Amino acid sequence: MKKILEMLTEEMAKAFEKAGYDGALGKVTLSNRPDLCEYQCNGAMAGAKQYKKAPIIIAEEVADQLADSKVFGEVTAVAPGFLNLKVSEAFLLSYLEEMEADAKFGLEMPEKPKKIIIDYGGANVAKPLHVGHIRAAVIGESIKRICRYAGHEVIGDVHLGDWGLQMGLVITGLQDRQPDLVYFDETYQGEYPTEAPFTISELEEIYPAASAKSKEDPEYKARAMEATRKLQSGVPGYRALWKHILAVSVADLKKNYGSLNVEFDLWKGESDVHDLIPDMVAYMKEEGYAHESEGALVVDVKEETDTKEIPPCMILKSDGASLYNTTDLATILERMNLYHPDAIIYVVDKRQDLYFEQVFRCARKTRLVKPETELKFLGFGTMNGKDGKPFKTREGGVMRLENLIRETKDEMYQKIIEGRHIPEEEAKQVAEIVAVSALKYGDLSNQASKDYIFDIDRFTSFEGDTGPYILYTIVRIKSILTKYKEQGGNLSEVSLKAAQNESEKALMLQLTQFNAMMAAACEETAPHKVCAYIYDLANAFNHFYHETKILGEEDASRKAGLIALLVLTRDILETCIDVLGFSAPERM
């Protein structure tokens, strides 16, 4: 189905042509003076020079051609030559009817859907998730859902940090605590226990202690590096222990991600590509892409057009060890082999921008990807506290995601029980749902690349540009629909009617923008566009609601028309929050 602006532009182009002008001048845009009109066309201004005519003359001639347009209800030529436009109620109604009948509300599906991999978790095994991971999870999940909704095939991969020094540190820390574990007995031949010799809380204690110790004690660090080496070279006890670490950690991660409605299709990690590295390195050497530099193996990636220094991409360290780069390159290789994606999108902290530039250039230069494969870095900004510095706990420590979620839920619960008569158990459940909207909307409503301030008070407010406000609006609609049914109304028997007042028409116009908005949000990987849209839509709805008698309407046919409009508004709002990754309760 065509976007409404395309249909308006076509109608306008025909009018320009009929008046003897170039149809290309008929571009219609949203009005930047909504107090005067709904849409506008500035083509007469643009054509004035070409046709050596006063723009107002052209505008008037075009307006004359539209006198009995079925699409435009009002066309006014205004000085110096603008066309101010209002659509006809009948056209608006027919557009919405067509949207309503379409499963995707008129969003056109791609002729050739793309296969997209989104790399967006980045959690590190044995380390608790911190607020830095919230952005990757929340933004990545939303982009995955938006692109899927728009008809593409999308695979989300958590890409765990599960193979580096942090693993050696945990193993060393464990060895000091429990030196007698069979895993450390290199002569052991039997089966290893199926139960992990630690819990998630122990694991979370071990890593920070070991990491701190390795910073002060070079000998300890050397032991951790040796443990890493043993793990990576396949020493059975180390591998078995690592599997326990991975399993315990992943179970905990799934719980945490789950509480944010974040789901990955693939739970792969850096370790998965370990075995691909030797062949990949050999290939890069043989083809002459990689060369030695100060003992290390590197691929030059600078280009003539560079305005800043882009250092070579390091493939192996001077001691032959692989690096973060190496696993990322091998992961690209593996993804190309297994999934043949058209695009890989990385949702990672924007401070890794230069790093990904190097990796992408290296992958292209060494032909790990096809020339047409899109590699996209979607760098996000920092979540800051009210002091403008990266968000911390009250004590100044790193805030754990779990605690952040809990605090938001507590705050939401307080707000829900204040002045509302809702049973405690239900209030708790509702608080959980609404808290997720508060966190996610607070994040997603900002352009991803920008830093933002985490303001729990504002994010959990029922007023303003917030998740709870959107949910509140949806719940309001649901409650009207419930009452309509209680009065004997049937939602499957209602049908849309032409708008009868300004606020109703404004709501209908806002609904027509859904498909163009969603196409742009997918194209530009921009969830903030969905947020901006539903905020406007919720405002348009609430304005309409305050101006219009709905349940009290006496004319049954008009009442059914209003109810149909509510159903469509609810469906579009719910579709939007679903792609943002949260849902609405039945009441709140």
Q: Summarize as ranges the residues that interact with ligand ARG (CB under 6 A).
A: 119, 122, 124, 159, 161, 328, 346, 348
124 vs 445, which CB is nearer to ligand ARG? 124
159 vs 476, which CB is nearer to ligand ARG? 159
| Percent helix / strand / coil, the chain, rounded to 5 | 55, 10, 35
User: Taking the complex as a whole, how short is the minimal distance between the CB of residue 159 and ligand ARG, in angstroms?
Assistant: 5
User: What's 491's DSSP letter?
Assistant: G
348 vs 436, which CB is nearer to ligand ARG? 348
Q: What are phi and psi of 465, to 5 degrees?
A: -80, 75
User: What's 552's DSSP letter?
Assistant: T
346 vs 484, which CB is nearer to ligand ARG? 346
User: Taking the complex as a whole, how short is the minimal distance between the CB of residue 127 and ligand ARG, in angstroms?
Assistant: 8
User: Taking the complex as a whole, how short is the minimal distance between the CB of residue 327 and ligand ARG, in angstroms?
Assistant: 8
Task: Tell me which residue has tokens 């609405």.
Answer: 584
The distance from CA 563 to its chain's CA centroid, rounded to whole angstroms, is: 32
301 vs 564, which CB is nearer to ligand ARG? 301
Helix (H) or strand (E) holding 549: none
CB 380 within 8 A of CB 356: no
Q: What is the b/e burial string over 124-135, where b = at least 16 CB atoms within 10 angstroms of the residue's CB? A: bbbbbbbbbbbb
449 vs 501, which CB is nearer to ligand ARG? 449
**Angle (deg, nearest 10), helices 424-444 and 467-486:** 130
342 vs 571, which CB is nearer to ligand ARG? 342
CA distance 56 to 79: 6
DSSP E strands in 106-213: the ranges are: 115-119, 153-157
75 vs 348, which CB is nearer to ligand ARG? 348
Is the preceding omega at residue 80 within 30 degrees of 0, hence cis?
yes
CA dihedral 301, 303, 308, 313 (to 10 degrees): 0
User: Taking the complex as a whole, how short is the minimal distance between the CB of residue 234 and ligand ARG, in angstroms?
Assistant: 23
User: Taking the complex as a whole, how short is the minimal distance between the CB of residue 375 and ligand ARG, in angstroms?
Assistant: 11
Cα–Cα separations (whole angstroms), residue 260 to 82, 136, 385:
48, 12, 21
User: Taking the complex as a whole, how short is the minimal distance between the CB of residue 207 and ligand ARG, in angstroms?
Assistant: 13
User: Taking the complex as a whole, how short is the minimal distance between the CB of residue 119 and ligand ARG, in angstroms?
Assistant: 5
CA dihedral 104, 108, 112, 113 (to 10 degrees): -40
**Tokens coding 262:** 């974040």
User: Taking the complex as a whole, how short is the minimal distance between the CB of residue 164 and ligand ARG, in angstroms?
Assistant: 9
332 vs 538, which CB is nearer to ligand ARG? 332
User: Taking the complex as a whole, how short is the minimal distance between the CB of residue 322 and ligand ARG, in angstroms?
Assistant: 13
Residue closest to ligand ARG when measured from CB atoms: 122
Among 133, 111, 106, which residue's Cα sits nearest to residue 122? 133
